[in-house]
Structure 1
Amino acid sequence: MKEKHEIGALILRVVLGLIFIGHGTQKFQGGIENIAGWFDSIGLPGFLAYIVASLEVVGGIALILGLATRVVGGLFVLLLLGAIIKVQLAVGFIGGYAYDLALLTISLFLLMNGSKLYSLDKLLFKAKNN
C-alpha cells in the first residue's frame, strides 16, 4: 500500500511541477511587465508578479526534482489561495476557481505528505530518513 501511495505522490509532484513551470514561463515570455501592470490594476503591488512567476518556475523545478516538496507545496497553497480569493472567486466555479482549487488540493497533499520516491530530498537527507 505504501508503494502505491509513493507512486501517486510522485505523479502529483511531477505533474504539479510541470503545470507551474508552464504558468511561470508563460508570464515571463508573455511580458512580465504586462502581468505586473495587471497586478497593479487589481490592487496588488506590481512587483508581486515577478515573485509569483519566479516561484512558479523555481518551485515547479524543485517539485520535479523532489527538492523541498513540503515547503514548495505550502508556498503554492498560499499562492493559490491568493489567486482564488483575489481573482477567481468572482468568476465563479466553472471557468473560475475550479482549476485553481484542484491545484490547491494537490499542493495541500504535497505539503501534508511530501513525496520521497525519486526525490533529491531523500537522496540528500538519507541519514535523517533512516
Structure 2
Amino acid sequence: MVRKEEWGSTLLRVILGIVFLVHGYTKFQGGIGYTVDFFESLGLPGFSAYIVAGIELVGGIALVLGLGTRIVAGLLAIILAVATIKVKLAVGFLGNGQMAGYELDLALFAMAIYLALKSKTFLALDHVIFRKKSVE
C-alpha cells in the first residue's frame, strides 16, 4: 500500500517537472537568442543558455516521467542557486516591482533538493527500468 508521503513526493516531482518543462520550452519557443543575450549581460557565457534551457526542457520531461530524478533534481537545484545568486538576490525576497523576487526560486530549490536526496519516488519509470519494486 502506498503511503501519503509517497504520493506527496510524487506530486512534488511531477509539479517541479512541469514547471521546468514549461520554462525550458519558452526559452526555445521565444528564440533562444534572447536568453543568450540575457546570460551574456550577467557575465555568463552565451552557450550556457542552451545548456540551461536543455536541462530545463529535457529534465522537466524526465521528472514528470520519473527518469533520473535524483540527477535531474540536483542539476535543477544548481541552476536555481546560480539564478538566485546572480539575478534574484539583488531584487529581494518579494522583488522590486519590476522583477519578481526569489521566493518562488527558493521554493523550487527546496523541492529540487528534497528530490535529489530522496532515493525513490512512487509512479516513476525508474522503477520499471531498474526493477525497483518498493518505495521507501
8 Å contact kept, 1:66–1:115: no
Measured against aligned partners, the alpha-carbon deviations of 1:16-72 in whole angstroms (never above 9, x if no partner) come to 000001100111111101110111111000001100000000000000010000111
- The one of 121, 124, 127 aligned to 2:126: 121
- Identity between Structure 1 and Structure 2 (%): 51
Greater shift after overlay, 89-98 or 119-128? 119-128
The list of structure 1 runs, each at least 4 consecutive aligned residues, that deviate by more than 4 angstroms after superposition, is: 127-130
Give the CA RMSD over aligned residues: 1.8
State the number of aligned residues: 130
SS in 1 for 2:67: coil
8 Å contact kept, 2:74–2:112: yes
Alignment-derived partner of residue 97 in structure 2 = none
Measured against aligned partners, the alpha-carbon deviations of 1:61-112 in whole angstroms (never above 9, x if no partner) come to 0000100001111101101000000000001001311110000000001001
Letter in 1 for 2:34: N
* Partners of 1:3 and 1:58 in 2: CA distance: 29
Letter in 2 for 1:68: G
TM-score, reference length from structure 2? 0.90
The reply on whether 1:112 has 2:117 as its aligned counterpart is: yes
TM-score, reference length from structure 1? 0.93
Gaps of 5+ in 2: 95-99
Gaps of 5+ in 1: none
Higher relative contact order (CA 8 A, sep 6+): 1
Alignment-derived partner of residue 49 in structure 2 = 49
8 Å contact kept, 1:9–1:114: no
Letter in 1 for 2:121: K
* Partners of 2:113 and 2:73 in 1: CA distance: 6
* Partners of 2:42 and 2:130 in 1: CA distance: 42
* Cα offset, 1:116, TM superposition: 2.6
* Partners of 2:118 and 2:125 in 1: CA distance: 16
